[in-house]
Structure 1
Amino acid sequence: MQLHLKHRKASRIIKRVTEITSNGGLPKTGQYMVYVMGDDGYYQKGYPIGGGQRFIDNGDGTIIDMATGLMWIKDPQAAGLGSSMYWYDAINACENLDFAGHDDWRMPNINELLSIVDHSRYDPAFDPMYFIPFPDTWTPNWSSTVCAPWLDGAWCMYPYDGYKTVWSRVSDMCFVRPVRGGQS
């Protein structure tokens, strides 16, 4: 019996998740200056514990996040995703992407997207050594997370400062940074 495409894809995702190892834990914010006693600069909580390297460049256009176990595309433009698009088109582009020998790419949820933000950086708010920014950092990146009170909206992240906002899924265009792996 032939499995439906959705179920075949789900089983490939589960299989490939076991290929990516993670030390687990929430990432540090990147804030190291102490501005107010008790802020994150003071506590320095989060991964990496012991100063381990968080991101690994695989040399094939992909990056592994050792804190979350997710694999990201280093430069979405190199994968043919260099222009902004509507939310539904972004989902389809990720779902149909075959890049670096993997065909189980998807649009990240908002928590996954925010996990690469480094709050010690600005424009872009993530490490450009591992995540090549789009030419326009003022246009948000889509997430797959729909905004509960506004069903026509989806959560996005501004790459210049890591700010989370909601844009219209049906009338706004944003960039997309595909991801693979994670828990199902």
Structure 2
Amino acid sequence: MKTGVIIPSRQLPKTGQTPSIIGFDDGHYYAGWWKGLTYLKNKERFIAKTLTEDDHDVVIDNATGLMWAGDGNKEGCNNGATITWNNAMIAIAALNAADGFAGFKDWRMPNYIELFSLLVLDPALVIAVKPLIYEPPFDNTKRSPYLTSTAHVETTTNAYLIPFTNAAGIGGSKAAMPAYLRLVRGGV
């Protein structure tokens, strides 16, 4: 991603857990680089943009330097449909080989840590039965599992998936288990 701005290396993002459930937990320390949607001098963590005449919505994450597909029902998220890991890799390669997305041709499936960085561990979202992610800017995010490019440690025929219902990653078959997809670029 070319922004014309040199971005220094960052710490890990905050989890989003704001209340302290028990002393000295993550809500107490609130460790990490970012707090909520704004940082120093009201600088926003996420910048939502619509790029190209095809209305490609993207979100730039200032905490990680990554650019994400923004709308869960549009092309950068497989038009809101589930897809297997193997088929997603083929579809991403075809997308990049053709016109790309939002004017870029280097989109990829996020790894486990990258996708996990979008989770917001806010009990209010769980109670409201909403996905654990900021909406907006990540519109139409499903609560079901999303694909990551990270192979499962026990068997490489499986990959880690992250559901936006909780912070528990799960394993799923690359060939057989369909899940949702959100493309990312940069940060590698």
TM-score, reference length from structure 1:
0.81
Q: Of the candidates 50, 61, 65, which is equivalent to residue 59 of structure 1?
A: 50
8 A contact 1:57–1:64 mirrored in 2? yes
Report the equivalent of 1:94: 92
| Aligned positions, number | 166
8 A contact 2:73–2:140 mirrored in 1? no
Q: Using the TM superposition, give the Cα deviation of residue 102 of structure 1 relative to its aligned residue in structure 2, in angstroms.
A: 0.8
Q: Give the letter aligned to residue 166 of structure 2.
A: D
Distance 1:133 1:160, change over 3 A: farther
Q: Using the TM superposition, give the Cα deviation of residue 116 of structure 1 relative to its aligned residue in structure 2, in angstroms.
A: 0.5
- Whether 1:175 and 2:180 are equivalent positions in the alignment is yes
Distance 1:156 1:30, change over 3 A: same
User: Runs of 5+ in structure 1 lacking a partner?
Assistant: 1-15
Matches within 5 A, 1:62-141: 62-79=58-75, 81=78, 82-97=80-95, 98-120=100-122, 121-122=125-126, 123-134=130-141, 136-138=142-144, 140-141=145-146
Matches within 5 A, 1:25-36: 25-36=11-22
Q: Classify the secondary structure of the residue corresponding to 2:74.
A: helix
Q: Of the candidates 145, 149, 166, which is equivalent to residue 150 of structure 2?
A: 145
Q: Using the TM superposition, give the Cα deviation of residue 18 of structure 1 relative to its aligned residue in structure 2, in angstroms.
A: 7.1
User: Runs of 5+ in structure 2 lacking a partner?
Assistant: 52-56
Report the equivalent of 1:7: none
Q: Using the TM superposition, give the Cα deviation of residue 19 of structure 1 relative to its aligned residue in structure 2, in angstroms.
A: 5.7
8 A contact 1:96–1:103 mirrored in 2? no
Q: Give the letter aligned to residue 101 of structure 1.
A: G
Q: Classify the secondary structure of the residue corresponding to 1:41.
A: helix
TM-score, reference length from structure 2:
0.80
CA RMSD of aligned residues (A): 2.0
8 A contact 1:95–1:104 mirrored in 2? no
Distance 1:21 1:96, change over 3 A: farther
Matches within 5 A, 1:18-57: 22-23=7-8, 24-48=10-34, 50=40, 52-57=43-48
Q: Using the TM superposition, give the Cα deviation of residue 28 of structure 1 relative to its aligned residue in structure 2, in angstroms.
A: 1.1
